[in-house]
Chain A
Amino acid sequence: MILSKDEAQSILQKVLGFSTADECEATLSGTTGGNIRTARNTVSTAGALDNVSLTVEARFGKRAGIATCNQFDDATLRRCVQRAEEVARLAPESPEYVPMLGAQQYLSTPAFAASTAGITPDYRATQAGKGMALCEQRKVSSAAFLEDQAGFVAKRNKKGLEAYQQFTNLDYSVTVRTPDGTGSGYATADFTDISKFDAGRLTQIAADKATSSVGAKAIEPGKYTVILEPAALVANSDASLLGALMNAFDARSADEGRSFLSKKGGGNRKGEKLFDERVTIYSDPASADIPTLAFAGDGRPRQKVTWIEKGVVKNLFSSRFWAQKQGIPDLPPPSGFIMSGGTQSTADLIKSTQKGILVTRLWYIRPVDPQTLLYTGLTRDGTFYIENGKIKHPIKNFRFNESPIIMLNNLEAIGRPQRIGGNLVPPLKIRDFTFTSLSDAV
């Protein structure tokens, strides 16, 4: 359920009015949405959910307590505040106590679209049906997932912090396989505003990849020049190479000596050039392409922040406690990131490649060594050999063992960024990408 700003803030005001604690902060959040899942060209599951909940944090000195509820009559609200205060009185003093934030200035970010908030079960079934019909016609089999949500977050505390924002999102992914199981293709996209969403178009891409990946030949594992499409660099529901790199930008882990950003002898590597000079990664909550909430979960404002500029580490994120302790900028982790790119399409990157491999997607990516950010995983759903600027033939899938640090030092070319999993990421051409074994999987 989406409460309006007035409805939400009036509940929060009432909640704070019930509090006797030194500090008190209340957060209301709610979502409404649904999903539909298909496989073998038919619907497998579909559902919907509607929920609102309130979280109250009360503090007496350095002792804190949290309670929540999902009913909003006065008696329940009062009980919720009392529970938070009871827990706070019993809790140990926190050595990492930081006072609550006061009033903040937030950017205006376009995170909500009415079109997405208005999705019905029939809309989901129609979109899913488009993809299934296309695959029936082409005699291939599709498995797809569509999930949408609209929601709001509102915050208020006794020190004057006040925040409210609505958001929407739709995620779609589709895997198409040939009936004999020798070809597989994939496409995914996500949207704040669904006006540009077309399940048929995405299914078409996946179906083309599936049919053109039939008859894959085995080539020897080793170091190859690769073109990694955006879906091979980030994923919306699992670990990814660029996601892992950005998650490692935590100041505390770096300062404590347990991160690739830790410096020999102590401290961190902020300010050092660790990547190719064409690498710039930033976050911007007001981006028209990947708008996010203007505030983090703890109420800190989200602003445009550059994390890597021309290969140099510019900023690390941290908790409020760690920022204060170390006297560093108080930056929350980004909720999506943007890697600067050029104007070349994936097709352009292929054209300029003498010998190489086009990778549609990397999968089951897991850390091997946190010291070097070494990750392993596999190619999937369309891997092709490139020769003299053209796709020559499909190849069997590989397992890789590679670090995004090494990868972003072996950069050959950067393409045009596109939205994927809430991030904006270009296809990348990388030399000497390490494949360690072959996989029989299709």
Chain B
Amino acid sequence: MGLTGLAAGALLLPRMPLLGGTEVDVARLLEPFDAALNKRLADAALNAAKAAGATYADVRIGRYLNQYLFTRERQVQNIVSTESLGAGVRVLVGGAWGFWATNQLTEAELAKAATTATQIAKANAKIQKEPVQLAPQKGYGEVAWKTPIQQNALEVPVKQKVELLLAANAKALDAGASYINSALFQVNEQKYFASTDGSYIDQDVHRIWPTFTVTVVDKASGKFRSREALSSPMGLGYEYLVPKAADKVKGPAGTDVIGYKQSYDLLEDAALAARQAKAKLTAPSVVPGKYDLVLDPAHLGLTIHESVGHPLELDRVLGYEANFAGTSFATLDWKKQGKPYGSKLVNIVADKLQPGSVGAVGYDDEGVKTREWDLIRDGQLVDYQKIRDQAHIVGQDHSDGCCYSQSWQDVQFQRMPNVSLRPGKQKMSVDEMIKGVDKGIYIAGAGSYSIDQQRYNFQFGGQTFYAIEKGKITGQIEDVAYQANTQEFWNSCAAICDQSDYRLFGTFFDGKGQPSQSSAVSHGSSTTRFNGVNVINTARKV
């Protein structure tokens, strides 16, 4: 449906079991996954499924290793290392899917799981109205893929990582923060996929996300304000936490904002967050009305996610998510009408390839090699996101390779790939963009977010807001949220900064499906201008 809000929850509830898994000690995280053993186990499942009548079967043996560190102010709150190991078998019998998962990794148990999955499929086949049709997929044989990381974060001593978080906390407290909660999430998905198509795919996927929330309290007035980190979840190793000058993008003149590319300066951002949160306490409240918005990539990524990423998921378009996430205005009929999704400047690309993105993998969770494809070209909708059992519905013969499951024990389904706004072709810096704005607001960082179930009407907040008057930033303002209609908003896109400003926003917690599953996704963009957007004032008296 959109981000689940677990990100904020995780900071407040350090014992929350994120993404499943059981707690283990650190040494266990570094033991290798045995591909030869996995092949034997997978074959046991595939053979049993075929013997029980499956026309297609796949098995995913997964070892999901996570380590989460939580601190607040000057102390460690919790260190959780989790391992979740098991296998999920998916079968197609009589045109219906069946799925069963087990944590007992023996050939006998995998065969049993396959047989049980076929029994479930047979029960469902009796009430199935539209038999599942799979796009053809050739087997790849035995292949492997690994996130190209420089340093596995799980191999860095916990002490070093905790010291970094506590150093960031100290920076924030020294700069005037009343409280800071900080966290470091590290994820390693070791996934072995095999199918009756003849693929045996071994993948080692790494992701990292440092984040914090700084809060400043003014006891006398009872007022408090927060500012969250401008970091992004990344498909990188610990190198993301080693800041490099070349990865820093200076925000507009008149702000202290710094954007980050392939590395992040946690200490610098924590100190800045405290100063900005403090300034929020006394910043003037916005006057509601129409403004030209200048949105930085760490903010715009979330707007892209909700108003472009989700509406173009084909399962949602077709009604498969109607009971939870909702449907989409961008139906197949709407696409045929040829109405503009956005202005001619808007080019949106989907991929599972971008280096450093959290969506990057070699193959998806149903054994399809990943790719890049256009969703919106020169403002026109040209394609959707789809997997093997959806391609025929739009007259295509291939999946886009965006099938994903959050663990071995959940069934895989269509999930959002990276969805990004291509940078402007003309050279333009953010200062040059702001020069042309008469009455506007510059927004950095993602804040409050909400959108309707067909992705028309949305409302977004942010982390910090700066007023723009006559081409210049004039200072921080508060209580800002913008409300717009997806098509009107993207058609008001008036300028996009060039490639040198391009950065990734991301999340670990895109929620969709029933039972709900989390997925990680990145959204790239350069700073972008939208004209005449409706801004409301969110201050209330209670």
Contact = CB atoms under 8 A, between A and B. Distances in A.
A174 B79 CA distance: 40
B452 A380 contact: yes
Contacts of B323: 37, 39, 143-145, 173-175
Interface stretch (B94-102, B199-207, B340-348, B377-385): B94-102
Contacts of B24: 67-68, 83
B321 A262 contact: no
Interface stretch (A161-169, A335-343, A431-439): A431-439
Contacts of A397: 452, 457
A143 B452 contact: no
A67 B21 CA distance: 12
B538 A43 contact: no
Contacts of A327: none
A374 interface: yes
Interface string B482-499: 010100000000000000
A366 B450 contact: yes
A181 B328 CA distance: 10
Given A45-B411, A143-B320, A371-B223, A68 B22 contact: yes
A369 B103 contact: no
B483 A35 contact: no
Contacts of A87: 25
A379 B448 CA distance: 18
A439 B456 contact: yes
B127 A43 contact: yes
A369 B223 CA distance: 11
Majority secondary structure, B binding face: loop
A70 B452 CA distance: 41
Contacts of A129: 126-127
A368 B448 contact: yes
A95 B73 CA distance: 12
Nearest to B5: A239
Interface residues of A, number: 89
Interface in B75-133: 75-76, 79-80, 96-103, 116, 119-120, 123-124, 126-130
B255 interface: no
B453 interface: yes
Interface string A103-139: 0000000000000000001100100110010000000
Contacts of B116: 48
B483 A436 contact: yes
Interface string B207-251: 000000001010111111110000000000000000000000000
Which size class do B's interface residues fall under?
A: 35 or more
B127 A132 contact: yes
Contacts of A145: 323-324, 514
Contact of B321 (A39, A260, A373, A437): A39
Residue among B127, B224, B321 with the highest chain A CB neighbour number at 10 A: B127
A266 to B, nearest CB: 6
A425 B332 CA distance: 40
Interface string B410-440: 1101000000000000000000000000000
B178 interface: yes
Contacts of A441: 326, 329, 452-457
A369 B539 contact: yes
Residue from the set B25, B128, B413, B536 with the largest chain A CB neighbour count within 10 Å: B25
Nearest to A48: B100
A147 B457 contact: no
A234 B457 CA distance: 22
Nearest to B322: A143
A113 B23 CA distance: 31
B277 to A, nearest CB: 11
A439 B457 contact: yes
Interface stretch (A7-15, A278-286, A400-408, A414-422): A400-408
A370 B515 contact: no
B463 interface: no
B103 A401 contact: no
A96 B75 CA distance: 10
Interface stretch (A49-57, A287-295, A385-393): A49-57
A374 B456 CA distance: 22
B483 A40 contact: no
Interface of B: 1-2, 4-5, 22-25, 75-76, 79-80, 96-103, 116, 119-120, 123-124, 126-130, 178-179, 215, 217, 219-226, 318-324, 326-327, 329, 331, 409-411, 413, 448-457, 459, 461, 479, 481, 483, 485, 514-516, 534, 536, 538-542
Interface of A: 35-37, 39-51, 53, 55, 66-70, 83, 86-87, 91-92, 94-96, 121-122, 125, 128-129, 132, 141, 143-145, 147, 173-175, 177, 181, 184, 237-239, 256-258, 260, 262-266, 363-374, 376-378, 380, 397, 399, 401, 403, 405-406, 436-442
